[in-house]
Chain A
């Protein structure tokens, strides 16, 4: 019993520590701390985020067909009906972007908390509910440039511009999954969709006559969203003890009416205070209709292989926010296809150290949601991962590493090399009741 408690406290301590580090870094706006990401997140309402667990990321898939009763997933509401354990999970990602154009190289890095999810099996493996908070798009760009202008007295004025973007569209979602029978599960998840985006620019001049100039544009708004999911499961299809899961989720398009406020810091009546330079209502931030489908085949309890794809109709999501930016880029329909496999040696009786983990690897191709001069800003991802399984509970810590190539330097565009590390902490029943049996 003491061993069980030690491991529980150890997992809990590690989880709290990682969560704390992640939150501290995520909240910081200091320019000395890496808090910026892809150049392409400059456009529109930010870059679409995949809220995958590290396990799903390492497989290169979304997870709509990854049927796992022991842990939760955001990807398919139908999966919540199959949960056996009360589970809470959160994920963090650390990404590094090396952006290159024909002239120079920039390096940005981003450390951020991705999602938080709690699932409760109301009826064990029959009916479950989920509450979650997660980002849908993210702006986390940063440009640091030096330039010159000429003053009214014909003097050359040099300045540094530090343009940053943060925030994006988020969802607070509460939904349910119903495992109707051994072959079919369905789910529905309504959500409050809200945008909280902050684009700022700081200018610093080399003349004492001009103090720093800082403006922030804050975009806010909210609406409701709807998501449906379904999961088909068949056993003993090709061989005995095999299993195949076919999953799908559908998200209705969203149109958020936005308020946009541009503020700056000024000295007014001898006090430093924020003033509103511009305020507008009735802008639009749109998210497209989205269909994600895939299948996972389990030829044995030790191996599974997944193939999944996603379609997003971004061409229907043109909005005032998108058009406010540079016209060189336009939204285009996005398709992403992922293929991955997993090996579970911890299910064997091996006592070797390497047999304590779950291993996974995958590859995916994303056409991207942006197009420039007729060219898709696509991304090719290679990924691999490791799952650390608690020998005494159903909790897991999943780690994944990804390497991505996005965009191109042709036509004066930007190519990004992306290194991403993800970690997901999945605590099952740890805090809710004591297992009666080891």
Chain B
């Protein structure tokens, strides 16, 4: 290779190395930022005044919990909950236990939720147990499904104080009736059991002033004659009925119940949103719902409690199968309580994007606390009749440029 070529190649290599090193060094900073348009976060608040209430009877069967008791809530009315339970027909009974025919005793073991009690937590509640006389199904049971029971013959009774586990002796006559189905080996035994043996109902009596929540792992117990061995009989079906009366509610408020007896429906002004924000550089959109914490807290005496509400669900309005949609189905959006604050906030940015850019025409949003847990929860939201600052509102956060 000639001297010229060597020199040329060296030059090229040096040049390329210089380029790569030179190009990699960048530290863009803030010099001159006082000459550029500063991004400014702005908040546009839209008061939502088209608010109505909707009322339904929610499902209450085969959830995580059932409810028993009664409570007079100054805000949400007089509430009475009675629970229906039915054991499975064929528990696994080892032959070695010697259980044959009806030579066993039958009990009900209630496992109560240790977290939630609705009402006077220090009170003692009283219950009677009766045989159900009408057909019911856990999966389709609602809080107002008609139930009849034989209140002339008490199957059992018990009280609930501070304990969380209660075992109740059940009447032998009802046990004998169950035993006939337990021992029935006919082909139609299941069918007969389903339609003829209807379970029991736990009804609050006396001066009961709280509602307790038995878990779904509550069970029946078969005990051998000598009481030395126990066989667990799980629940095949369970549900509760709820009756609410004497509700005294301010017109500026809307109640929300986990049993969806009341829901709040908001109609969004789609045309107004499109007109005002079609060109906005939207960062976020929040639906803000204010809770009437004053009423809620002032109406709860010392040692009384309500299961707390930390979330609200937002579902688009539907015209069929509303109860399932609003209570069971996953909501379209969820709002959460803001740092123990007096309001719930739901991020509905995608809904707003759909309105502005996706031909979204659904304008009804149903707000509730529908749940399939079985715990009875209620809260109180300010509605369109409340003072302006407490009404439901849409807060649109966007970015605008501002000259320095």
- Does B4 contact A152, Cβ atoms closer than 8 Å? no
CB distance from A185 to the nearest CB of B (A): 34
A341 within 8 A of B: no
- Does B7 contact A356, Cβ atoms closer than 8 Å? yes
Per-residue interface assignment for chain B, residues 1 to 18, with 1 indicating a CB less than 8 Å from any chain A CB and 0 otherwise:
001100110011001101
A438 within 8 A of B: no
A433→B56 CA distance, assembly (Å): 89
Given contact pairs A269-B354, A326-B36, A104 touches B283 in the complex (Cβ within 8 A): no
A123 within 8 A of B: no
A42→B280 CA distance, assembly (Å): 23
Selected contact of B28 from candidates A94, A107, A388, A421, CB within 8 Å: A107
Given contact pairs A14-B12, A161-B39, A329-B35, A277 touches B280 in the complex (Cβ within 8 A): yes
A149 within 8 A of B: yes
- Which residues of B lie under 8 Å from residue A153 when comparing CB positions? 338
- Does A326 contact B15, Cβ atoms closer than 8 Å? no
A96 within 8 A of B: yes
- Does A213 contact B281, Cβ atoms closer than 8 Å? yes
- Which residues of B lie under 8 Å from residue A172 when comparing CB positions? none
Which residue of B is nearest A109, CB measured? B26
B284 within 8 A of A: yes
Which residue of A is nearest B343, CB measured? A153
A201→B399 CA distance, assembly (Å): 11
Count of chain A to chain B residue pairs whose CB atoms are closer than 8 Å in the complex: 157
Which residue of A is nearest B7, CB measured? A353
CB distance from B234 to the nearest CB of A (A): 41
Per-residue interface assignment for chain A, residues 380 to 414, with 1 indicating a CB less than 8 Å from any chain B CB and 0 otherwise:
00000000100100000001000000000000101
Selected contact of A145 from candidates B26, B30, B350, CB within 8 Å: B30
- Does B11 contact A108, Cβ atoms closer than 8 Å? no
Give the size category of B's interface with A. Answer: 35 or more
Selected contact of A42 from candidates B4, B32, B38, CB within 8 Å: B32
- Which residues of A lie under 8 Å from residue B27 when comparing CB positions? 106-107
- Which residues of A lie under 8 Å from residue B29 when comparing CB positions? 99, 104-107, 143-145
B387 within 8 A of A: no
A94→B16 CA distance, assembly (Å): 11
CB distance from A6 to the nearest CB of B (A): 9
A151→B358 CA distance, assembly (Å): 27
- Which residues of A lie under 8 Å from residue B404 when comparing CB positions? 326
- Does A107 contact B15, Cβ atoms closer than 8 Å? no
- Does B28 contact A143, Cβ atoms closer than 8 Å? yes
Selected contact of B36 from candidates A17, A143, A210, A356, CB within 8 Å: A143
- Does A326 contact B281, Cβ atoms closer than 8 Å? no
- Does B26 contact A36, Cβ atoms closer than 8 Å? yes
B403 within 8 A of A: yes
Among A190-198, A249-257, A260-268, A300-308, the one that faces the other chain is A260-268
B37 within 8 A of A: yes
A203 within 8 A of B: yes
A152→B349 CA distance, assembly (Å): 16
B19 within 8 A of A: yes
Name B's interface SS. mixed
B92 within 8 A of A: no
A39→B31 CA distance, assembly (Å): 8
B174 within 8 A of A: no
Given contact pairs A153-B338, A268-B357, A421-B19, A145 touches B33 in the complex (Cβ within 8 A): yes
A215 within 8 A of B: yes
CB distance from A114 to the nearest CB of B (A): 14
- Does A107 contact B357, Cβ atoms closer than 8 Å? no
CB distance from B57 to the nearest CB of A (A): 33
- Does B32 contact A99, Cβ atoms closer than 8 Å? yes
Give the size category of A's interface with B. Answer: 35 or more
- Does B353 contact A399, Cβ atoms closer than 8 Å? no
CB distance from B16 to the nearest CB of A (A): 7
Interface residues of A in 257-300 (CB under 8 A from B): 262, 264, 266-270, 273, 275, 277-278
A203→B404 CA distance, assembly (Å): 18
A100 within 8 A of B: yes
- Which residues of B lie under 8 Å from residue A210 when comparing CB positions? 283-284, 397
- Does B281 contact A353, Cβ atoms closer than 8 Å? no
- Does A42 contact B12, Cβ atoms closer than 8 Å? no
- Which residues of B lie under 8 Å from residue A262 when comparing CB positions? 279, 281
A423 within 8 A of B: yes
A419→B19 CA distance, assembly (Å): 12
CB distance from B277 to the nearest CB of A (A): 10
A419→B22 CA distance, assembly (Å): 10
- Which residues of B lie under 8 Å from residue A122 when comparing CB positions? none
Give B residues with C-beta under 8 Å from A: 3-4, 7-8, 11-12, 15-16, 18-19, 22-41, 43, 45, 278-284, 338, 347, 349-350, 353-354, 356-358, 360, 395, 397, 399, 403-404
> Other than the known A105-B29, A109-B26, A143-B32, what 15 A-B pairs have Cβ atoms closer than 8 Å?
A33-B24, A106-B29, A144-B30, A151-B397, A163-B36, A209-B284, A209-B347, A268-B350, A270-B350, A273-B357, A325-B37, A326-B36, A328-B35, A414-B31, A414-B32
Give A residues with C-beta under 8 Å from B: 14, 17-18, 21, 25, 33-34, 36, 39, 42, 94, 96, 99-101, 104-109, 111, 142-147, 149, 151-153, 157, 159, 161, 163, 201, 203, 209-210, 213, 215, 262, 264, 266-270, 273, 275, 277-278, 325-329, 353, 356, 388, 391, 399, 412, 414, 419, 421, 423
Query: Would you give 12 A-B contacts (Cβ < 8 Å), ordered by A?
Result: A33-B24, A34-B26, A39-B35, A104-B29, A106-B29, A106-B32, A109-B22, A143-B28, A143-B32, A149-B41, A161-B39, A275-B356
